[in-house]
Amino acid sequence: MTPTRHFFRRPRTVSPSEARVLAASGALIVDVRGMREWRRHHIPGSVLIPLAQLEERMDELPADRMLITFCTGGLLSSGAANLLAEFGYDAANMTRGLVGWRSTGGELVEGDALS
């Protein structure tokens, strides 16, 4: 079980605009929402690891790339970024989540496709 301390500290953050630039430079965007939200729409090139599975699946993530976590509004992904940072990953939370990504013109994939 993930300790609650991950949800109360403030992680390093990047704006949605910064996240787009960082992703173009090799950062990996990690979607910590659930499968239902992912299937509705997600960020192209992002990987889905729901927050509840993150600790047990983090070894699937590259240790040599920056990881940018996001959810719908940024709250759950904040805890995810903290958890990843505690385990030695270069991780940041995307502020305002998918809402912010959309508002800054970020592309979305719609439908069931898994990237």
Is 112 among the residues known to form the active site?
no
Other Cβ atoms less than 10 A from the Cβ of 108: the count is 13
**22 Cβ contact partners less than 8 Å away, ≥ 6 residues apart:** 14, 66, 68
Instruction: Provide DSSP, 33-71.
Output: S-HHHHHHEE-TT-EE--GGGHHHHGGGS-TTS-EEEE-
Residue type, 94: M
Q: Which of 68, 71, 81, 91 is catalytic?
A: 71
| Active centre residues (catalytic) | 71
